[in-house]
Structure 1
Amino acid sequence: MPETYTDRPLLGDNFDRALILAADHHRRQLRKGTQIPYVAHLLGVTSLVLEMGGSETEAIGALLHDAVEDGGGPPMLERIRTEFGEDAARIVAANSDSDAEPKPPWYRRKRAYLDAIAHKQPDELRVSLADKLHNARAILLDYRTHGEGLWDRFKTGEGDSIRWYYRSLYEAFSARREDLSALALPALDELGRTVAEIDRLADRARPASPRQP
């Protein structure tokens, strides 16, 4: 049986309202190349943040971390600030890839995201780590199922680019290891193992180079 809170609950009305907002905003979205409702990703990221010991505000940031870049833009960020507070808005802004339309080129956006990890506050960092770990888990699972065809669902269309990005993410998060809470370190280590396994499978899938005479 789960333990019952004896004082003020960790998750209150603000969390409930953020959950409804996230579900409504992403209602028509699916995970890339699947029939999985996008909200499954948001719930997965939020679960990881809470398991890292994250606060209600961090959990709200996790639920809404894609709401700005996925069509909400500046008006959504302002709504988050008004309804959930400055810290929630800051976490979402720090974890938004780009709200520009059209979006900048893929490499430029990913390079900027990687560079920003060095400057994230700890709560922003935990939400970012949870987001990328949940994505990496999904990539590994789908790679085991679909093989090299998996990469076709990404805009780059190149497995090498995606694998570079996730290796670089792990390196950037590792450089901030001391700024993560103790409860977040298992997630960081799992990201490293997951990225390594994706690389192992990809290397195994490549045809062997012909021997030189």
Structure 2
Amino acid sequence: MFSNKLVARAMEYAAQAHRGDTRKGGEVPYIVHPFEVAMILKENAFEDKIVAAGLLHDLLEDTEVGIGELRDEFGEEILELVLSASEKLEGRDKRSWNKRKENTINYLEEDADFINKVIACADKLSNARSILRDLKTESGDFWQRFSAPKDKQKWYYESLVYSLKELDGLKMYTEFKSVVAEIFK
């Protein structure tokens, strides 16, 4: 499926950077998420540099990889795509969950271009799929694992659906709307 050298290099690089990390509230290796994001982008017929950016999208937020290192390894264009998919990095740890999510929604509604929205949609669809899978199999207070309660998550995901409406017609956006509706029905 991923025969392009750029995509293969990004897969290996992301796997190394996320080595040992797991998804919130479970034992699933974190790398499953960037791989799923890449598969969503590939299934929606985006070019390899977009798929590679999808693989690398969480490196700056969640690993020790820095901007300079990512630029040296993959070039300015992919760095810019990764930066566009990342929360504002400076001062991130000092901002509340609400503020960070408001910034993401506002960015997607007002400033993000089409490709930035595509990468964000693939990322959020992967997250939503994971939530839905876990909701169906876990008992207890599922929402405790998150940084915000269910009502805030509902607000965030429904706001994302609205902010990504420019993608209407793309398979991934249609699925994203559907999965979000099912999670919060």
2: CA distance, partners of 1:89 / 1:121: 15
Q: 1:133 aligns with which of 111, 118, 125?
A: 125
Measured after TM superposition, the shift of residue 164 of structure 1 is 0.9
Q: What displacement does 1:98 show?
A: 4.0
- Rounded to whole Å, the distance in 2 between the matches of 1:25 and 1:51 is 24
1:85 partner SS: helix
**Any idea what the Cα deviations from partners look like across 1:52-88, whole Å, max 9, x if unmatched?**
111111111101100001133xx62222222212221
Q: Would you say 1:89 and 2:79 are equivalent positions? A: yes
Larger relative CO (CA 8 A, sep 6+): 1 or 2? 2
Count of aligned residue pairs for this structure pair: 183
Match of 2:184 in 1: 199
What is the root-mean-square deviation in Å for CA atoms of aligned residues? 1.9
| Equivalent residues in 2 for 1:1-213, closer than 5 Å | 11-72=3-64, 76-99=66-89, 100=91, 102-118=93-109, 119-147=111-139, 149-156=141-148, 158-174=149-165, 176-177=166-167, 185-200=170-185
Q: Alpha-carbon deviations, 1:120-158, whole Å to 9, x = none?
A: 2222221110000011111111112225611111112x1
Residue 132 to residue 101, structure 1, CA distance change in 2 (3 Å): closer
* 1:159-206, Cα deviation, whole Å (9 max, x unpaired): 1111111011001111x236xxx5xx1211111111111111xxxxxx
Larger CA Rg, structure 1 vs 2 = 1
CA distance in 2, matches of 1:139, 1:30: 14
Does the C-alpha gap of structure 1 residues 98 and 28 become closer, same or farther in structure 2, counting only changes over 3 Å?
farther
Cα separation, 1, equivalents of 2:150 and 2:139: 10
* Preserved contact between residue 41 and residue 134 of structure 1 (Cα < 8 Å): yes
Percent identity (aligned)? 31
Q: CA shift at 1:11, angstroms?
A: 4.5
Structure 1: tracts of 5 or more residues without a match: 3-9, 201-213
